[in-house]
Structure 1
Amino acid sequence: MSLTLAALLPLLAQIGPTGTQMQAPLDLPRKKAAVSGPPAPVTANPVVQRLRECLDLTQTDAAAAVTSAIAWRDGAVGSARVPAGHCLGLALSEQGDFAGAEAAFLGARADVSSSDSADKARLGTMAANAAMAAGGADRALGMLAAAQADARSAADKVLAAEVGIDRARALVAMKRDAEAAAVLAEARADAPGNGLAWLLSATLSRRAGKLGEAQAFIEKASAIAPQDPDIGLEAGVIAVLAARDDAARKSWRSVIATAPGSDQAKVAKGYLDQLDPGPTSEGR
């Protein structure tokens, strides 16, 4: 059985073991083990280890990562080529070669087993994002439609919502805001706990002048991710457009407090300076 991309994703977000605290066990008599001694060493999966090394290399020497990933991919067969293609796409993205990254991700998607719809969805979404970065929103939209169909085939609503968010971005880039709003509504229904879906819905409604709707969306986003600086920025913009300047100040000050030194904090400071120009604005 081949190792799927889903099995490799934990490398991108290392999570330690969890569990509930156990009560002290009863002192039950046990039969002694037939053989005693140190446990056998755990051997790391060689594919996982190689992908880990390749992903690390993309952050320190993208050119070397490209060379390594190509050699790995060309020496593999079938679905064994998938992790190499995944790493190659990321390495090319780091170099700013988004067309190359798109091709690498699509190649990896083609190598995925036909039964692994979720993996196809993930790699198709990566290819679409590379296309978007290269200015190909129309091309990305087709890939994202296919990726969302793959996610639904895998019965993964959370993944379908994530793909839907990217579809909405592509639609907005093509000035198809009404379609984007409908796609975001589907994403909210599929994954109500996805704060980004609510944030983007708020932004889209605000741009359409629907401030009441935007306020409802941003309140939901804030409840899900209260310290997200992007949510704080948008909450302030919606508030100031609704002539609620005090609420806007509160939102933007919270961004500066929770994400000091970030790009969002700099934007928030600029907004505050526009709202209250003059020497007294310093230090807010």
Structure 2
Amino acid sequence: MLALMLAATPALAMTYSECVAMIDKAPGDAYSAALAWTKTTDDPAAQHCTVLAEVALKRYGAAADRLNRLIDQIGDQHESAALLGQLGNVRMLDGKPDLAVRAFDRALSVTPNDAQLLADRARAHAALRHWPQAVRDLDAATQIENDDPELMLLFATALRELGKLPEARTAADKALALAPKDPAILLERGRIRLLAGDRDGAKADWQAALAVAPKGDIRDAIAASLKTLETRTK
């Protein structure tokens, strides 16, 4: 096992890249090795690799707690902001979007124009169904980065949930221009069209989406939407 192999090597000889590489091969062994490494050094890299191993093992609460402690030890604000962004995503994995928002708030107080952090906070707000806040963050994010179809799709969804259908349609059209055959975008635009009273447009989008969607959740959602639409029109 990797942990046994590492035991033959002094822990101080371990590098961060070696530690991270172990996670992909055997996360349990990587965690044991990283934990041993933390006992030999105060290098933040050792703690961070332990966090990554805990995330790989789906020990999200423990990973978040360790990451919190690590953040408190970091003096550089921008390094702390990067770690806070990671903490927010770990909190999301742990099903705690309220704590994720707090982490993203702290990160964005240092780097307010980070499109990824804004999008991540928007996802946390969306999980809490805080649609005005999600729209605000996605509006800011898409002004910084306007060529990301996934980001534009999120914006369209948040606008639809907020009831702003014309703006949602504009965002969905922009997303589709960036990724013309994306089934998730076609599904979303169909939903917006249906709410706006355009049944034929919704059906056309969903049929186009079904033609390109692979097996999985998106395809199932498209098929269910079409079935519901056909049932209502009978």
TM range (shorter): 0.7 to 0.9
**Letter aligned with residue 17 of structure 2:** V
2:81 matched residue in structure 1? 121
TM-score, with length taken from structure 2: 0.79
Using the TM superposition, give the Cα deviation of residue 198 of structure 1 relative to its aligned residue in structure 2, in angstroms: 1.9
Sequence identity percentage = 28
Label 1:218 to 1:70 Cα distance change in 2 as closer, same or farther (>3 A): same
1:65 matched residue in structure 2? 30
2:22 matched residue in structure 1? 53
2:116 matched residue in structure 1? 162
**Letter aligned with residue 100 of structure 2:** A
1:214-225 matches, cutoff 5 A? 214-225=168-179
Bigger helix share: 2
Matched, 1:76 2:30: no
1:171-201 alpha-carbon deviations (Å, 9 max, x no partner): 2334432222222211112212233332222
1:104 matched residue in structure 2? 66
1:112-261 matches, cutoff 5 A? 112=74, 114=76, 117=78, 119-152=79-112, 157=113, 160-261=114-215
1:89 matched residue in structure 2? 51
1:28-87 alpha-carbon deviations (Å, 9 max, x no partner): xxxxxxxxxxxxxxxxx9543442232x13xxx433232222223333333xx33x4444
1-structure distance, mates of 2:99, 2:132 = 19
Label 1:49 to 1:94 Cα distance change in 2 as closer, same or farther (>3 A): closer
Structure 1 unaligned blocks of 5 or more? 1-44, 279-284
Residue pair 2:64, 2:87 contacting (<8 A) in 1 also: yes
Residue pair 1:85, 1:107 contacting (<8 A) in 2 also: no
Q: Secondary structure of 1:268's partner?
A: helix
1-structure distance, mates of 2:27, 2:136 = 38
1:212-260 alpha-carbon deviations (Å, 9 max, x no partner): 1110011111222334332222112112222323332333233333331
Number of residue pairs aligned between Structure 1 and Structure 2: 219
1-structure distance, mates of 2:22, 2:105 = 32
**Letter aligned with residue 36 of structure 2:** A
Label 1:62 to 1:232 Cα distance change in 2 as closer, same or farther (>3 A): farther
Higher mean alpha-carbon deviation, 104-113 vs 138-147, is at 104-113
Greater gyration radius: 1
Q: Secondary structure of 2:193's partner?
A: helix
Higher mean alpha-carbon deviation, 167-176 vs 97-106, is at 167-176
1:12 matched residue in structure 2? none
TM-score, with length taken from structure 1: 0.67
2-structure distance, mates of 1:63, 1:251 = 45
Using the TM superposition, give the Cα deviation of residue 113 of structure 1 relative to its aligned residue in structure 2, in angstroms: 5.8
Label 1:262 to 1:72 Cα distance change in 2 as closer, same or farther (>3 A): farther
Structure 2 unaligned blocks of 5 or more? 1-13
Residue pair 2:19, 2:34 contacting (<8 A) in 1 also: no
